[in-house]
Amino acid sequence: MSEQPPIIVWFRQDLRVADNPALAHAVQTGAPVIPLFVFDEEGEGKWAPGGASRWWLHYSLEALSDRIAALGSSLIVLAGDSQSILLELCERTGANQVYWNRRYEPAAIDRDTRLKKALADAGLRPRSFNGALLHSPLQIANKSGKPFRVFTPFWKHLRSIAVREILPEPKKLESHGFETLGSEIESLELLPKLDWADGFGSVWTPGEAGAKALFEGFVERGIARYAEGRDFPNEDAVSRLSPHLHFGEISPVQIWRMLSLEEHEPFLRQLVWREFSAHLLYHFPDTTEEPLNSAFSRFPWEFKGDWAEAWRRGRTGYPIVDAGMRELWKTGTMHNRVRMVAASFLVKHLLQPWQVGAAWFWDTLLDADLANNTMGWQWVAGCGADAAPYFRIFNPIGQGERFDPSGEYTRRWVPELAGLPDKFLFKPWEAPADVLEAAGVVLGVNYPLPIVSHPEARVRALEAYARMKENE
């Protein structure tokens, strides 16, 4: 047993043992390590984890706990205020240092800044590291020393700078002897009371081993088709790594260093969108609620609860939108192309504020990530960094025909339309009565009539945009 006082390694959104800077540095000191996770709901401010994220967190903590046990130690799990818990645990264990990997969301930054001071005031030594991103947002600036607001120059800059090496993974962790101070993971009550999440387990394997297996399978089977296939929801061409990345079960550094930029540029470019969103949220922390382009704070949204609800439930009458919303509810994810179409439909066709959609995604996405979700919604709504121009309005019929040409994806999630021929699958209201009858579709009865007409909604959205511009 080492003579040195123990170091607490506080796990947060870095639920892995490999390439974990806080853990690697603590182990390197030779001091005993006390691995800790604190479920600090209040510390998350307005953005405490949603239902789907809690499901993931439960299983990810189980996986981390097993992994740490296999290395010879044990994960202490507690719930409550991080600061009081850390101070108390240092006192009870004799630890004089606390190591963690930084998070870059506004509430986490506020809390960690206060906490660092409180620990230092108590004579303890806090140390934080970057384990979540390729580069710390503080180290990235454009030629004028300002944060990037446009993706392409950000990407060019990032691809030209070196990424650190993967850190060694501990072979063994000494037992610390304080296991009895923790609680059971079950006591956090993260799993939903409803049976809504029952299907998630057949699609996902939270935890470091699940992330590794998924990444290796993707490199073997999917990555070669990524550039051509990534826009097609029915093709198995994307990595599905986003929840694993969000919870830090695999690090972007591991991915970057295991792939070659020459060979895998399209995929690594997408990974850098994740960096870009973290960079934006770090520099523009109000964007979780407020549009980055402040002109949009005057946008004449229409607040219609029943329209927003039809969208949430996948009952808009637009099959590609409904397919995406139902996929989300059943599996906790939605393909990126369909996210863009469904989100655009809510903000442009239905004129509902993007914040309403972002809140629903926050609750139902397993990969719900404050930076990515905020950037995704603001991008779609036309008010974010490097956003699509507002007046470019996705046509939900054309998008379905183009990106789900066989209709397989849409038929899977909207089975009541499965019997319709391809020609009418994305616009059932245009199908002749005999075609509808042969397919067993009764519009307005077993599948909704379109909630709004596409051409009319398009004109209304453009008028709303023009009204906003008039008031500039």
Positions touching ligand FAD (CB under 6 A) are 230, 238-242, 245-246, 270-271, 273-274, 277, 336, 339-340, 343, 361, 365, 367-369, 372-373, 376-377, 380
Please report how close the Cβ of residue 377 comes to ligand FAD at its closest, in angstroms: 5
| Comparison of 174 and 367: residue with beta carbon closer to ligand FAD | 367
Choose between 127 and 269: whose C-beta lies nearer to ligand FAD: 269
Q: How far is CA 110 from CA 113, 117, 405, in A?
A: 5, 11, 47
C-alpha 429/C-alpha 155 separation (Å) is 43
The least distance separating ligand FAD from the CB of residue 397, rounded to whole angstroms, comes to 19
We find the least distance from the C-beta atom of residue 444 to ligand FAD, in angstroms, to be: 29
Nearest Cα residue to 133 out of 104, 169, 112: 104
302 three-class SS: coil
The minimum distance between CB 288 and ligand FAD, in angstroms, equals: 12
Which amino acid is located at 71 in the chain?
A: L
| Dist. CA 324–CA 319, nearest whole Å | 9
Helix, strand and coil in the chain, % to nearest 5 = 55, 5, 40
**256/268 Cα distance (integer angstroms):** 7
Compute the distance between CA of residue 355 and CA of residue 319 in angstroms, rounded to an integer.
23
Per DSSP, what are the bridge partners of residue 35?
9
Would you say 356 and 342 are in contact if contact means Cβ atoms under 8 Å apart? Answer: no
232 or 361, CB closer to ligand FAD?
361
- Residue 461, marked binder: no
Of the pair 182, 376, the CB lying nearest ligand FAD is at 376
On whether the CB atoms of residues 131 and 14 are closer than 8 A, the answer is yes
State the nearest-atom distance from the C-beta of 276 to ligand FAD, in Å.
Answer: 7
Q: Is 368 annotated as a binding residue?
A: yes
Nearer to ligand FAD, 8 or 371 (CB): 371
**39 vs 379, beta carbon nearer ligand FAD:** 379
Phi, psi at 98, each rounded to 5°: -130, 125
Q: How far is the CB of 325 from ligand FAD (least distance, A)?
A: 12
**267 annotated ligand binder:** yes
What are the phi and psi torsion angles at 113 (to 5°)? Answer: -65, -45
> Is 79 within 8 Å of 256 (Cβ atoms)?
no
Residue 357 sits at φ, ψ, to 5 deg, of -70, -40
User: In the chain, what is the straight-line distance between the N-terminal and C-terminal CA atoms, in Å?
Assistant: 68
CB closer to ligand FAD, 277 vs 352: 277
Q: State the residue for tokens 């990235």.
A: 140
For ligand FAD, the closer of residues 82 and 372 by Cβ is: 372
Nearer to ligand FAD, 188 or 271 (CB): 271
The reply to whether 367 sits in an annotated binding site is: yes
**In the complex, minimum distance from the CB of residue 230 to ligand FAD, in angstroms, rounded to a whole number:** 5
465 among annotated binding-site residues:
no
Residue nearest to ligand FAD (CB): 376
DSSP class of residue 346 equals I
- At its nearest, how many Å lie between ligand FAD and the CB of residue 449? 26
Q: Which residues of 71-90 are buried (b: 16+ CB within 10 A; e: fewer)?
A: bebbbbbbeebbbebbbebb
- Please report how close the Cβ of residue 134 comes to ligand FAD at its closest, in angstroms: 12
Q: How far apart are CA 454 and CA 472, in angstroms?
A: 27
- Per the DSSP assignment, residues forming a β-bridge with 39 are 79
Q: Which residues are annotated as a binding site for FAD?
A: 226, 267, 367-369
Q: Which residues are annotated as a binding site?
A: 226, 267, 367-369
